[in-house]
């Protein structure tokens, strides 16, 4: 039994807090709003996410971040990638606590992965930081449907400790020391899912979506190798596994965001109609910047960026990709 603080009461934070509670850990979830804390503590419901799902009675909610993290051995960060730096700078992480990052994104401006942001803001070494990623749709995990994941850390013992923390009868984490590959896989698949969603929203079928997924994976591998990742990582759960789940499921925020774009709605209209964060909408520009920095060709990513910024419409995206010069599949 460990003492765990889950910092964030969104869908992902709630699902992970439930998973940890199933393992009989002492879990506190941090919610920003007092009414959410009251509902979790008294009614064992999160009114904003999974309102129909009863949460474990042992799960406690706190509004004050330092109270939530008091005596925590593990601090699980369920914070959107683009607000992680600002949020984390306001908190004081307990001494010797292991930090687990759930965010899948690349920071705008700096081009840093989330583990790098955490290290830069807190001064905590990478050996105390782990990343949890993989084909993990929060709604399915919250309902205890079978799922696998990857826990990555530069220190194998840290990855193993976090693996044991989360391993339940329905949630099976594997370990990996390739943090670069695992984080890149989690961030870049969101951008490809936006493209797949656009194709679906325009009425295209399996041929188009399978082509985008496959060529998207090629982009991810090229960028990963250029940045020092192990290419084998992308054939596993953090790569193709996460990519397929995010591109295929109607529960995926990025895919559904892309679908709405494909149906003709604007970025502003879609963003204003949901509290859910589609990480790829912002991270696509960070990933494009990484591609430029490392001189890696990523045509799908570039096209998605053009749609998000309004210089290209979804139908033109497809036409632009198809009109590119013919070339070998591997080059």
Contact 106, 85 (CB under 8 A): no
Alpha-carbon distance 29 to 252, whole Å? 23
Neighbouring residues of 188: CB distance < 8 A, sequence distance ≥ 6? 216, 219, 220, 223, 287, 301
- DSSP output for 199-267: HHHTT--HHHHHHHHHHHHHHHHHHHHHTT--GGGGGSIIIIIHHHHHHH-TT-HHHHHHHHHHTT--H
- Residue 19 CA from chain centroid, whole number: 17
Task: Give the three-class secondary structure for 23.
Answer: coil
Which residue among the candidates 39, 104, 189, 282 is catalytic per the annotation? 189
Q: Which segments within the chain are labelled E, that is strand?
A: 3-7, 26-30, 60-62, 74-77, 98-101, 129-133, 147-152, 171-176
Alpha-carbon distance 62 to 153, whole Å? 28
Residue 6: both structure tokens together = 């889950």
Alpha-carbon distance 162 to 154, whole Å? 13
Alpha-carbon distance 109 to 5, whole Å? 29
Has 327 been annotated as catalytic? no
Residue 223: both structure tokens together = 């960028």
Alpha-carbon distance 303 to 188, whole Å? 14
**Buried (b) or exposed (e) across 65-92, using 16+ Cβ within 10 A?**
beebbeebbbbbbbbbbbebbebbeebe
- Residues assigned a catalytic role: 189
């Amino acid at each position: 039994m460990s003492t765990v603080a889950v910092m964030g009461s969104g869908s992902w934070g709630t699902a992970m807090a439930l998973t940890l509670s199933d393992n009989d850990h002492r879990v506190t979830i941090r919610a920003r709003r007092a009414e959410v804390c009251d509902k979790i503590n008294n009614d064992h419901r999160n009114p904003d996410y999974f309102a129909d799902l009863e949460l474990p009675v042992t799960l406690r909610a706190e509004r004050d971040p330092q109270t939530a993290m008091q005596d925590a051995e593990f601090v699980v960060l369920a914070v959107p990638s683009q607000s992680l730096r600002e949020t984390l700078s306001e908190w004081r992480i307990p001494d010797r606590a292991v930090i687990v990052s759930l965010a899948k994104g690349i920071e705008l401006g700096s081009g840093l992965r989330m583990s790098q942001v955490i290290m830069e803001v807190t001064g905590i070494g990478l050996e105390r930081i782990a990343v949890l990623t993989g084909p993990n749709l929060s709604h399915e995990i919250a309902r205890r449907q079978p799922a696998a994941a990857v826990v990555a850390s530069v220190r194998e013992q840290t990855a193993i400790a976090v693996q044991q923390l989360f391993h339940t009868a329905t949630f099976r984490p594997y370990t990996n020391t390739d943090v670069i590959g695992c984080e890149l896989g989690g961030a870049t698949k969101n951008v490809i899912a936006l493209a797949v969603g656009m194709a679906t929203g325009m009425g295209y079928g399996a041929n188009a979506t399978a082509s985008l997924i496959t060529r998207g994976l090629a982009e991810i591998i090229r960028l990963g190798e250029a940045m020092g990742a192990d290419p084998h990582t992308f054939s596993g759960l953090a790569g193709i596994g996460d990519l397929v789940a995010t591109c295929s499921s109607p529960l995926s925020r990025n895919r559904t965001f892309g679908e709405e774009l494909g149906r003709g709605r604007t970025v502003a209209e879609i963003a204003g109609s949901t509290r859910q964060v589609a990480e790829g909408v912002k991270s696509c520009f960070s990933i494009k910047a990484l591609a430029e920095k490392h001189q890696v060709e990523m045509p799908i990513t570039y096209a998605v960026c053009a749609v998000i910024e309004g210089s290209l419409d979804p139908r033109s995206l497809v036409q632009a990709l198809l009109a590119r010069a013919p070339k070998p599949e591997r080059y």
